[in-house]
Amino acid sequence: SATVIKCRAAVAWEPNKPLVMEEIEVAPPGAHEIRIKVVATGLCHTDLYHLFESKKKEGFPAVLGHEGAGIVESVGPGVTKFKPGDKVIPLFISQCGECKFCRNPKTNLCEKGWSNERYDVMSDDMSSFTCKGKTILQFMGTSTFSEYTVVNEIAVAKIHDSAPLDKVCLLGCGISTGYGAAVNTAKVEPGSTCAVFGLGAVGLAAVMGCKAAGASRIIAVDINSDKFEKAKVFGATDFVNPTELSKPVSQVLAEMTNGGVDFALECVGNVGVMRSALESCTKGWGVSVLVGWTDMYDFSARPIQLITGRTWKGSLFGGFKSKDGVPKLVDEYMAQKLKLDDFITHTMPLHQINDAIELMKHGKCIRTILNVCPE
Amino acid sequence: TLTCGCIGDKCRAAVAWGHKQPLVVEEIEVFPPRDHEIRIKVVATGMCHSDLYFLVDCEGWSGFPAVLGHEGAGIVESVGPHVTKFRPGDKVIPVPITQCGECRFCLNPESNLCVKVEVPGLSHTCKGQTLVQFAGISTFSEYTVVSEVALAKINDSAPLETVCLLGCGIPTGYGAAINIAKVKPGSTCAVFGLGAVGLAAVMGCKAAGATRIIVIDTNKDKFEKAKVFGATDFVNPKDHARPIQEVLVEMTNGGVDFSLECVGNVDVMRSAFESCVKGWGVSVVVGYTESGEVSTLPMQLLAGRTWKGCFFGGYKSVESVPKLVDEYMAKKLKVDEFVSHRLPLDRINEAVDLLVQGKSIRTVLEISQVQ
């Protein structure tokens, strides 16, 4: 339908403040856009980053949330590949299929998406939301903390009709990011030794990816030993808590592994941890991958590390080309080749989102599922 | 001349007595080769910037007095016990990293960092003092003793006074482009630094089929030679107020596909890395430094750039140098074009000055005559 929808959403009016449940207006989908009824969403650390940590204070007011799943409510002119009722996952990285990045198999960084303006919020004139007379920005082009959202079709993935949306929503970010970092970016090899730094959802998904790729040894590194038990579920074989060591963690890992790991993944987003991860891989052929995100600081390391044969890489969204990759991950979950349920520690309705935020801030959850418009 | 098997054989060598002191051509003693060692008569040697690292750049090295030089070619004079792969008369090039063929790194096709570091060392004395063998080689000497896992046997017809340059600088740059960056046909490359290593990297980019090779140097006199090796665009950072990476990103619609840092400076390394296109750009650190740290924003890596580095161009040394010599003999590799000066051993300090002042690409020092 071509009408404005009034619905409920959690609005971030300003940084460092709780989200407020408001009635918002959601415009009908324009050309090549799709309006989606959001069924469920995860809360990802990047949502909190924008709210609490980012140096960009001008991205407000906004509706956050980028790890969601829902059902197509209506489509705009020119949309042929989606129809009302389709199950979909909105994507914070687009896949237009035509730009030089989409055509290059080595990258997933489509340049046609909204994120070419800036990588956190869509600008005023691209947003579909208003509230109390003001434009509300769409976070990462997705804004899943809303009963309805509007997304360009190049940033929507059509998924398996029977997929449980309150589980597969997690493939909208965290799990795909970590899993893909291991299988696509690091390209973990069978029999190898891996180290994963940080055991939030992204790190656990990276552990899962290392295991799927056949690593024989997966060393999980976290300053919170409570997280080791869950890491074991996903395949971790060794557990290191840097706060309990008297030597730098990269040195300890080198000693544990006869020189260093084959693959190291940083899933925290802290430049000090990045340095440790970069230095933990073996000389000669070691590969370190940055997965965690920050724009606040530079990282530093010694060039002799590169000269002695280490490779440093990084990726966004696990290197998955989004529209192609997400439906396949959903299928893998349906075929029980991929775990998702084990990431879910809490479930609550959208209006309790501030509780979910508190849980995440204090490291007391892995993933909370927020039911937005339950199926 | 040395005679085989006698203790205390004498010859001439340029000895480095201390930091920032001129090299002195002295009479030294060179011991016969021991187990798994080979004594070679050095015919010619290049002078590489790394030879000057402790002499000129970095203070506090405890290795003086030493015989420097590691980019040489010569003829086997005698072999020690258990040496089976070399005989007197063989033409050889010592290599700056070993290849034992047995360690975990030699067995891995992705690495050339053999761990069997065998420095024969303590084979040279002068005025009663032991002389340190630089890089286990020491080619600024008429004779030297090297380990058999650090010596490459080369084509019998190779002109030693030219192929000596395949002992370090040229493989380092050429291999960085071909083996480590893995430059692709049709790609756009950037090479930072136009010393011998950078010029060899340009040569490698061209051999790999790059269609655009942008060279960056603060000394525009170096551009002419870079063109000989295949450079297509020339950028002097001094001509631009903006950071050089911004200039290159603009020139190339987003950044280069491959960049190679051939200077050994951490700020240039950052510029080279940030000059790469997001998504698939690859930057290789070729220039060597042990000091300082590289920095960049994590987003640069998250956006899909890859940062690598290498030593000796990633070549497994003993097996690769002979092949590079063959490529030169088949005219598939340029070496003569790197020789900017030729000097006898006695004038070695002029060669040092030329290199320090950036006025040479490679000076070849003629050490001994070939019979």
SS (H, E, C) chain A: CCCCEEEEEEEECCCCCCCEEEEEEECCCCCCEEEEEEEEEECCHHHHHHHHHCCCCCCCCEECCCEEEEEEEEECCCCCCCCCCCEEEECCCCCCCCCHHHHCCCCCCCCCCHHHCCCCECCHHHCCEEECCEEEEEECCCCCCECEEEEEHHHEEECCCCCCHHHHHHHHCHHHHHHHHHHHHHCCCCCCEEEEECCCHHHHHHHHHHHHCCCCEEEEECCCHHHHHHHHHHCCCEEECHHHCCCCHHHHHHHHCCCCECEEEECCCCHHHHHHHHHHECCCCCEEEECCCCCCCCEEECCHHHHCCCEEEECCHHHCCHHHHHHHHHHHHHCCCCCCHHHEEEEEEHHHHHHHHHHHHCCCCCEEEEECCCC
Rounded Cα distance, A289 and A306, in Å? 14
Rounded Cα distance, B167 and B171, in Å? 7
Which member of B113, B295, B306 has the closest CB to residue A311? B306
CB pairs under 8 A between A and B: 114
Q: Do B111 and A306 touch (CB under 8 A)?
A: no
Q: Do A295 and B307 touch (CB under 8 A)?
A: no
Chain A interface disruption, residue of B179, B307, B310, B312, most A CBs within 10 A: B307
In angstroms, what separates the C-alpha of A121 from chain B's closest C-alpha? 17
Mean pLDDT value across residues A340-361: 97
Q: What is the pLDDT of residue A296?
A: 82
Q: How many CB atoms lie within 10 A of CB A338?
A: 21
Q: What is the pLDDT of residue B32?
A: 92
Which member of A293, A307, A308 has the closest CB to residue B302? A293
Which member of A297, A308, A312 has the closest CB to residue B113? A308
Q: What is the pLDDT of residue B120?
A: 60
Q: What is the pLDDT of residue B310?
A: 97
Q: What is the pLDDT of residue B291?
A: 81
Which residue in the block uniquely carries the two structure tokens 């976070």?
A139
Chain B interface disruption, residue of A276, A296, A306, A311, most B CBs within 10 A: A306
Structure tokens at B16: 């480095």
Q: What is the pLDDT of residue B63?
A: 87
Identify the CA nearest to A223 among candidates A206, A207, A239, A247.
Answer: A239
A313 has a chain B CB within 8 A of its CB:
yes
Identify the CA nearest to A70 among candidates A375, A338, A335, A294.
Answer: A375
Rounded Cα distance, A261 and A188, in Å? 11
Tell me the sheet residues that pair with B135.
none
Rg (CA), chain A: 20
- Residues of A within 8 A of B110 (CB-CB) are 284-285, 309
Rounded Cα distance, A13 and A20, in Å? 8
3-state SS track over chain B: CCCCCCCCEEEEEEEECCCCCCCEEEEEEECCCCCCEEEEEEEEEECCHHHHHHHHHCCCCCCCCEECCCEEEEEEEEECCCCCCCCCCCEEEECCCCCCCCCHHHHCCCCCCCCCCCCCCCCEEECCEEEEEHHHCCCCECEEEEEHHHEEECCCCCCHHHHHHHHCHHHHHHHHHHHHHCCCCCCEEEEECCCHHHHHHHHHHHHCCCCEEEEECCCHHHHHHHHHHCCCEEECHHHCCCCHHHHHHHHCCCCECEEEECCCCHHHHHHHHHCECCCCCEEEECCCCCCCCEEECHHHHHCCCEEEECCHHHCCHHHHHHHHHHHHHCCCCCCHHHEEEEEEHHHHHHHHHHHHCCCCCEEEEECCCCC
Structure tokens at B30: 């060179």
Identify the CA nearest to A266 among candidates A287, A286, A291.
Answer: A291
Structure tokens at A205: 């998904």
Q: What is the pLDDT of residues A204-228, one digit of tens each?
A: 999 999 999 999 999 999 999 999 9
- Residues of B within 8 A of A101 (CB-CB) are 279
Tell me the sheet residues that pair with A121.
A139
pLDDT of A119 strictly over 90? no
Q: What is the pLDDT of residue A125?
A: 80
Q: Do A299 and B111 touch (CB under 8 A)?
A: no
Q: Do A314 and B294 touch (CB under 8 A)?
A: no
pLDDT of A51 strictly over 60? yes
Amino acid making up residue B108: N
Chain A interface disruption, residue of B302, B306, B311, most A CBs within 10 A: B302
Question: Looking at chain B, which residue has its C-alpha nearest residue A278?
Answer: B307
A271 has a chain B CB within 8 A of its CB:
yes
Which member of A109, A305, A309 has the closest CB to residue B303? A109
First-to-last CA distance in chain A?
20
Identify the CA nearest to A100 among candidates B24, B267, B252.
Answer: B252
Q: Is the peptide bond before A248 cis (omega within 30 degrees of 0)?
A: no
- Residues of A within 8 A of B280 (CB-CB) are 104, 106-107
In angstroms, what separates the C-alpha of B292 from chain A's closest C-alpha? 7
Which residue in the block uniquely carries the two structure tokens 């096709």?
B109
Q: How many CB atoms lie within 10 A of CB A4?
A: 13
Q: How far is CA B172 from the centre of its chain?
A: 5
Which member of A107, A302, A304 has the closest CB to residue B279? A107
- Residues of B within 8 A of A269 (CB-CB) are 298
Rounded Cα distance, B266 and B231, in Å? 23
Q: Do B308 and A300 touch (CB under 8 A)?
A: no
Torsion, CA B239, CA B244, CA B246, CA B250, rounded to 10: 60
Q: Do B296 and A298 touch (CB under 8 A)?
A: yes
Q: Do B301 and A109 touch (CB under 8 A)?
A: no
Structure tokens at B35: 């187990």
User: Which of the residues in chain B have pLDDT under 50?
Assistant: 1, 3-7
Q: Are B48 and B286 in contact (CB under 8 A)?
A: no
Q: Are A265 and A196 in contact (CB under 8 A)?
A: yes
Q: What is the pLDDT of residue A276?
A: 96
Q: Do A295 and B297 touch (CB under 8 A)?
A: yes
Question: Looking at chain A, which residue has its C-alpha nearest residue B279?
Answer: A107
Q: What is the pLDDT of residues A170-186, one digit of tens each?
A: 999 999 999 999 999 99
Chain A interface disruption, residue of B301, B305, B310, B312, most A CBs within 10 A: B301
Identify the CA nearest to A280 among candidates A300, A264, A267, A303.
Answer: A264
Q: Do B294 and A312 touch (CB under 8 A)?
A: no
> What b/e string do you get for A190-200 counting C-beta neighbours within 10 Å, with b at 16 or more?
eebbbbbbbbb
Tell me the sheet residues that pair with A38.
A70
Amino acid making up residue B70: H
Q: Are A340 and A172 in contact (CB under 8 A)?
A: no
In angstroms, what separates the C-alpha of B60 from chain A's closest C-alpha? 20
Structure tokens at B238: 């001094």
Q: Do B304 and A284 touch (CB under 8 A)?
A: no
- Residues of A within 8 A of B176 (CB-CB) are none
Rounded Cα distance, B250 and A51, in Å? 34
Torsion, CA B299, CA B301, CA B303, CA B309, rounded to 10: 150
Q: Do B294 and A303 touch (CB under 8 A)?
A: yes
